[in-house]
Amino acid sequence: MSTSALINRLFDVIEDDIAPKTAEGVAHGNKLFGAAILRKSDLSLVLAETNNEMENPLWHGETHCLKRFYEMPKADRPDTKDCIFLSTHEPCSLCLSAITWAGFDNFYYLFSHEDSRDSFAIPHDLKILKEVFTLDPGGYNAENAYWKSYGLRRLVRELPEAERKTLETRIGNIAKRYDDLSASYQSGKAENDIPLN
Ligand SMILES: [Zn+2]
């Protein structure tokens, strides 16, 4: 499978499987972060989930997805080594650790930590990395003994022009959708009791 076919499939999952759940979650006061697990073999979806911090502040998009994954019957659950982990936004320190402990050897994300801070007004990922781990932006090890991470925007930038243009249009459409979700979350967040809202 080509890189652009993989990216198109991951964008399909964001648009068709994650974002609808996130729209529902945001309507209930949750943040707009979501995640999904796919089988490497045929890129079929295992499951998609969204942030559920209104229930528990540890249920970020990624950790909530992992919680649901381990609630599946063991027989239906592929080995994490045979799976792709997809996150709409670059995982925070909590989720980086969760993905590691669950045994994935990869993850892909669309929006960066800087996007979360600058476009989505959620600075906590970078702030925690700095305050707790003394790391500057980009300071964690994006490829290490456990996994390799892939920023989808960077992968798109490296493609030949024709494929790049098509995928950049798709990114623009997805970003617009998430801008709306962000406006909705930000306008209601004064009323929630999420510790780091
Ligand atoms: Zn997180």
Tell me, in angstroms, the distance from the centre of ligand 1 to residue 62's CA.
6
- Per domain, the residue ranges of the chain are 3-190
For 36-92, what is each residue's pLDDT tens digit? 999 999 999 999 999 999 999 999 999 999 999 999 999 999 999 999 999 999 999
pLDDT digits (tens, 9 = 90+) for 133-157: 999 999 999 999 999 999 999 999 9
pTM flag (> 0.85): yes
Centre of ligand 1 to C-alpha 155, Å, is 22
- CATH domain 3-190 topology: Cytidine Deaminase; domain 2 (3.40.140)
Q: What is the 3-state secondary structure (H, E, C) of the chain?
A: CCHHHHHHHHHHHHHHHHHHHHHHHHHCCCCCCEEEEEECCCCCEEEEEECCCCCCCCCCHHHHHHHHHHHCCHHHCCCHHHEEEEEEECCCHHHHHHHHHCCCCEEEEEECHHHHHHCCCCCHHHHHHHHHHCCCCCCCCCECCCCEEEEHHHHHHCCCHHHHHHHHHHHHHHHHHHHHHHHHHHHHHHHCCCCCC
Distance 165 CA to ligand 1 centre (A): 30
Distance 163 CA to ligand 1 centre (A): 31
